[in-house]
Amino acid sequence: MTLPSYPWQRQRFWLDQLAGGGNAPKKAGTHPLLGERIDAAGAERLHIWEVDLDERHPAYLADHRVLGQVVLPGAACLEMALAAARDVFGTPGVAAVGVKFESALKLPAGERRRVQVAVKADGDRAEFSLYSRLNAGEPWVRHATGSVCVDSLDGSVVDLDAVRRRCSRAHGSEAHYASMLANGLEYGPAFQAITRLWGGDGEALAELALPSSVGADRYICHPVLSDAALQVVLRRCLRARAVIFRMRSQIGVCAGL
């Protein structure tokens, strides 16, 4: 038997990933970080969300680096927990408490990680865990745990004018990010949300603005904004008693630190 004299004709037929995979179309309204909800068989109180993340999906993650490595921000973990809580409790008033970060969720170039958020509900309170793994069959790595609950959002009112008077020392945003970089925290353009910064005696005041390159649709509080608020706390080290930040698109208060 002789082989054909013409070249082999090759054509690939790739299978689309199942729901929750990075190549599967997301349903309308799906949270960009949380992904799609999965029903857990035999566990009525257990709720799971699954999504594939890498350094470019969502695109702004590439601008959050620790010692040169793209790392999922802790603020993104909190956003995922709160978005899951809203889905479970059916109310916009939710809070995350007792959050513990166990390991960094690194996103090396060319690697896409499957990420799951698991929430076990009990009345108006639930426990959550965030896991990831690189390939099917590998053990899941737990990155964060904590609780989420229904919250009335009846926060205390802060006298912003009084804080402005106390925080009179102005600091340039460029100097702030240079200081962060010197400590191994590299914030690219998408994560440079601090536009103005002032310091006082154990207090800090910052104005935040979401960069135009970052979309805010379907987020509770975009991780770029909440991460910027945490940057202010970090800058003040452990001496800060309160951090009040004003955003051009929304106002938030983080007090009693």
Q: Say if domain 36-150 classifies as CATH 2.140.10.10.
A: no
For 1-10, 83-92, 130-139, 244-253, which range has the lowest pLDDT when averaged over its residues?
244-253
For 4-18, 30-44, 74-88, which range has the lowest pLDDT when averaged over its residues?
4-18
Pick the CATH number of 160-254 from 3.30.70.60, 3.30.1300.10, 2.60.40.10, 3.10.129.120: 3.10.129.120
Q: Is the pLDDT of residue 89 over 50?
A: yes
Residue 231: name the closest of 104, 95, 74, 108 by CA.
74
Q: Is the pLDDT of residue 71 over 60?
A: yes
Q: Which amino acid is at 58?
A: P
For 2-11, 26-35, 106-115, 139-148, which range has the lowest pLDDT when averaged over its residues?
2-11
| Measured distance CA(243)–CA(236) in Å, rounded | 9
Given this model, what pLDDT does residue 82 score? 95
CB atoms within 10 A of CB 222: 26
If you average pLDDT over residues 138-166, what whole number do you get?
A: 88
| Measured distance CA(225)–CA(209) in Å, rounded | 7
Per residue in 158-181, pLDDT (tens digit) is 888 999 999 999 988 999 999 899
Given this model, what pLDDT does residue 6 score? 55
| Measured distance CA(193)–CA(203) in Å, rounded | 19
Q: Let me know how long the chain is.
A: 257
Strands, E, within 123-247: which ranges? Answer: 125-133, 141-150, 169-171, 185-187, 194-199, 203-208, 242-247
List all residues 6 or more positions away from 7 whose beta carbon is below 8 Å from its beta carbon: none
CB atoms within 10 A of CB 83: 22
Task: Decide if 36-150 and 160-254 have a common fold.
Answer: yes
| Measured distance CA(113)–CA(158) in Å, rounded | 41
User: 165 phi and psi, to 5 degrees?
Assistant: -65, -35
Given this model, what pLDDT does residue 247 score? 37
List all residues 6 or more positions away from 197 whose beta carbon is below 8 Å from its beta carbon: 170, 171, 172, 173, 176, 204, 205, 206, 207, 232, 235
Residue 209 DSSP code: -
Per residue in 235-251, pLDDT (tens digit) is 665 333 333 344 333 33
The band of 1, judged by pLDDT with boundaries at 50, 70 and 90, is low
Per residue in 102-139, pLDDT (tens digit) is 999 999 999 999 999 999 999 899 999 999 999 988 99
Residue 180: name the closest of 115, 237, 248 by CA.
237
**Helix (H/G/I), strand (E/B), else coil: 241:** coil
Q: For the chain, what are the domain ranges?
A: 36-150, 160-254
Per residue in 9-31, pLDDT (tens digit) is 554 433 333 333 444 445 555 89
Average pLDDT over the chain, rounded to an integer: 82
The band of 155, judged by pLDDT with boundaries at 50, 70 and 90, is low
